[in-house]
Amino acid sequence: MASSQLIAQYRQWQTFQRQEQLSREHLGVVQRLEEARASSTQVVQAYRSMAEKASTEGACYRTLFLRKRDDQNALPCEGWLFVRRVLSEGNSTRVRVTLLETFTLENGAMEPGDKTARKLTLEIFDQVQMDKGMRTSVRVDCLDTPEDYHFITLLDAVRGDLRPYLK
């Protein structure tokens, strides 16, 4: 086997390993949020705090989200979110963000700037789970691209050096 083919297979294996790690991480965080019974009000407050730090410090937050593929399977992707604005109208809360993707199964690991930043609108809402005895859980879904949904943004993973890539 040629060394270039071996290296290509190794890189593909690394990509699949990273995908599996993100799948476990996304599922774990979802379970912890459900156990903590996080409400949409708490999540809205967290996004307001992120927006404030984004405007003053240029903070971007690591996010995991699911992307539905052509075969209807959903796999986690990773990126950095710059929260521009939180808009609340009645019972609806929308968040304007800029997303820098840093991992997808198709592209593998990407550096900021490898892929153009996308401006998105996220919606925060409580979801009723019938299978768990009418419990509610909070969801953050993308309104612009329905194949991207269930965003989880991590407050403890923040960077301030990504502003040049947000344009």
CA pair distance 22, 64, nearest whole angstrom: 8
Q: Which amino acid is at 131?
A: D
Q: pLDDT for 81-133, tens place per residue?
A: 999 999 998 788 999 999 999 999 999 999 998 999 999 999 999 877 666 66
Instruction: Give me the residue spans of the domains in the chain.
Output: 3-165
> Mean pLDDT, the chain, as a whole number?
92
Q: Residue 164 in contact with residue 79, Cβ under 8 Å?
A: no
SS3 89: strand
Query: Could you tell me the CA-to-CA distances from 156 to 3, 40, 59 in Å, in that order?
Result: 40, 19, 11
pLDDT attached to residue 1: 66
Cα–Cα distance measured from residue 17 to residue 12, given in angstroms and rounded to the nearest whole number: 9
Q: What share of the chain is helix, strand, coil (3-state, %, to 5)?
A: 35, 45, 20
